[in-house]
Amino acid sequence: MKHIFKLITYYQIVVNVTVAATLLAAGHIQSVSAQPAPKTVVIDPGHGGSDTGVKGTGGTMEKDVTLRLARLLENRLQGRYRVLLTRNDDYSMPWPDRTGQSNHNKADLLISLHTAGSYTPAANDLQVYYYTEADIKDPDKSSPDASKATPWRNVQKPHIPASSILAQRVWERAKQLHADHPGSVQPAPAAVLAGTDMPAVLIESGYLTNSKQEKNLNDNKYLFKLATAISQGIDDYFNNPDTITSTDLRE
């Protein structure tokens, strides 16, 4: 009897597998739907190499702060997003290449990281910028008609409303670290934002020319808090149902 039972069970398995294969081939069984691809966030550590950016009174260089902050932000975003850095080490990189990397990877967001400098040592707020139009020189200066041939000027225009929302979300989180001087969200003709085909913001995370902020921007614990705040702002942007992500309309 045991042999007969095993034989019956074997034939039942063969029949079930055969029927399932037939139905699948005929299109009667729907394959398991694939999970949507994670959003792509490009982090741009400003400056690098011979381009040191702002230099603090204590010798801190903007290029170093932005790279450390970028790596911490990458760590805070991983697992929820596909995260890319425009540079991973200390080397020069022209802003058109940063923009080009973001566009080539079809990023959903670009976060460009910077620090500020001022002739006024007391300046100590935080600013988040989104793009506004201005007379920006074309990267190709060899031709007087370059502006007619380079559509990069107009690429960010459709994303400006979404970029302003992104800037607001990030600032609302990050300003908590600047309770006394929270700064604001501002439009600016930042070149690195002009040619990006996605919502994009530029964050000036503090003034290296302010001794207290220079100390903070050298402190990994503070940078970790800042990276956490920025990542929360990015989450807020994607999770808010009222947010229209312009890259969702891409063909």
Condensed to tens digits (0 to 9), the pLDDT of residues 173-212 reads 999 898 778 899 999 999 999 999 999 999 999 999 999 9
Q: Which of 164, 232, 171 is nearest to 205 (CA)?
A: 171
Of these ranges, 27-31, 43-47, 131-135, the one predicted with the greatest mean pLDDT is 43-47
Enter the tokens of residue 140.
């190709």
Query: Per CATH, is 40-134+146-249 categorized as 3.40.630.40?
Result: yes
Question: For residue 134, what is the enclosing H or E element?
Answer: none
pLDDT given at position 142: 37
3-state secondary structure of 67: helix
pLDDT given at position 80: 96
3-state secondary structure of 38: coil
With bands split at pLDDT 50, 70 and 90, how would you rate the model's confidence at 169? very high
pLDDT given at position 178: 81
CA pair distance 75, 13, nearest whole angstrom: 47
CA pair distance 24, 146, nearest whole angstrom: 56
Condensed to tens digits (0 to 9), the pLDDT of residues 93-152 reads 999 999 999 999 999 999 999 999 988 887 878 999 999 987 544 433 333 343 444 566
With bands split at pLDDT 50, 70 and 90, how would you rate the model's confidence at 65? very high
Question: What is the pTM for the complete model shown?
Answer: 0.79
Region of residue 57 (phi > 0: left; psi between -120 and 50: alpha; otherwise: beta): alpha
CB-based contact 183:171 (threshold 8 Å): yes
pLDDT given at position 119: 85
- Could you state, in order of their start, the residue ranges of all structural domains in the chain? 40-134+146-249
Residue entry with tokens 């670009």: 110
With 70 as the cut, is the pLDDT of residue 46 above it? yes
Q: How many CB atoms lie within 10 A of CB 2?
A: 6
CA pair distance 187, 132, nearest whole angstrom: 5
The mean per-residue pLDDT over the stretch 68-83 comes to 97
pLDDT given at position 33: 55
pLDDT given at position 240: 83
The mean per-residue pLDDT over the stretch 220-244 comes to 90
pLDDT given at position 151: 65
CA pair distance 33, 55, nearest whole angstrom: 51
CA pair distance 194, 13, nearest whole angstrom: 61
Task: Look at 56-60, 231-235, 238-242 and tell me which has the smallest mean pLDDT.
Answer: 238-242
